[in-house]
Amino acid sequence: MKTIVLAGGKGTRLLPLTTVLPKPLLPVGDYPILEIVIRQLKKQGFTKITLAVGYLSHLFEAYFGDGSKWGVELEYSVERESLGTAGPILLVKDLSSTFLVMNGDLLTTLDFNRVVEYHKKKDAVLTIALQERSHQINLGYVERDGKYNITGYIEKPVHRYEVGMGIYVFEPEALSYIKKGEKADFPELVLRLIGDGKKVVGYPCSDFWLDIGRHEEYEKAQNEFEKLKHLFF
């Protein structure tokens, strides 16, 4: 099965680290983030990989080459202008069967094969891996009516919600909802599919997952990877 790894962003929230290196090439432990991802994909049997690159794209090819060092077949799809998070997928060739898409700047112990099996069982056009997150408001939350009569009071409530993990399984049919050359993000694509009555499902995941988008998350990745390295390789 073909896998597309999205690695074209500028990583502005991690400046100045991303001034000289694209975010997926920043080191976590002894490896660039993207090398950890590629090693995981290979271990799980996903060996045909396309890197969708843009910012400092030449550095990816200089480091990974054709992927033979890691036992995978690597191709490169270069984004010349910003096409959002979903737009670059349309630039990749030969997407005629089910394929996996994931961000190149995350750490997870998720079994990608389980997501693919779930996707096929659900007969979906798109599956999104999901993880629960919570956020506590450190103040008392007051409820009132239109006349400012207090109707409820909740001390430091905890809000729970599910977020996309940046891991997707696609059917080729979904590509027809992205316009060539158009900047398109995943939320927009999902809404187009749902609006047209297509089946989009979520895959609930409790495995370790960390999106490395900010400095505090990058620091956390360093600590967590050292403790959990045996789960990744």
For 186, how many CA atoms within 13 A lie in the half-sphere containing its CB? 18
Query: What's the confidence (pLDDT) of residue 218?
Result: 87
Query: What's the confidence (pLDDT) of residue 232?
Result: 81
pTM value? 0.90
Query: What's the confidence (pLDDT) of residue 15?
Result: 83
Query: What's the confidence (pLDDT) of residue 209?
Result: 94
pLDDT tens per residue across all 233 residues of the chain: 999 999 988 878 888 878 888 889 999 989 999 999 999 999 999 999 999 998 899 999 999 999 999 999 999 999 988 899 999 999 998 999 999 999 999 999 999 999 999 999 999 999 999 999 888 888 998 999 999 999 999 999 888 999 999 999 999 999 999 988 889 999 999 999 999 999 999 999 999 999 898 898 888 888 888 888 888 87
Which among 22, 10, 36, 16 has a CA at the least distance from the CA of 102?
36
Query: What's the confidence (pLDDT) of residue 18?
Result: 85
Query: What's the confidence (pLDDT) of residue 206?
Result: 93
Helix ranges restricted to H, the chain: 33-43, 57-64, 112-122, 186-195, 215-232
Query: What's the confidence (pLDDT) of residue 210?
Result: 92
Q: What is the Cα 104 distance to its own chain's centre?
A: 7
Q: How far apart are the first and last CA of the chain?
A: 20
ω into residue 88 within 30 of 0, thus cis? Answer: no
Query: What's the confidence (pLDDT) of residue 159?
Result: 87
β-pairing, 200-204 vs 126-136, is: parallel
For 44, how many CA atoms within 13 A lie in the half-sphere containing its CB? 23
Q: Which residues pair with 150 in a beta bridge?
A: 144
Percentages helix, strand, coil for the chain, rounded to the nearest 5?
Answer: 35, 30, 35
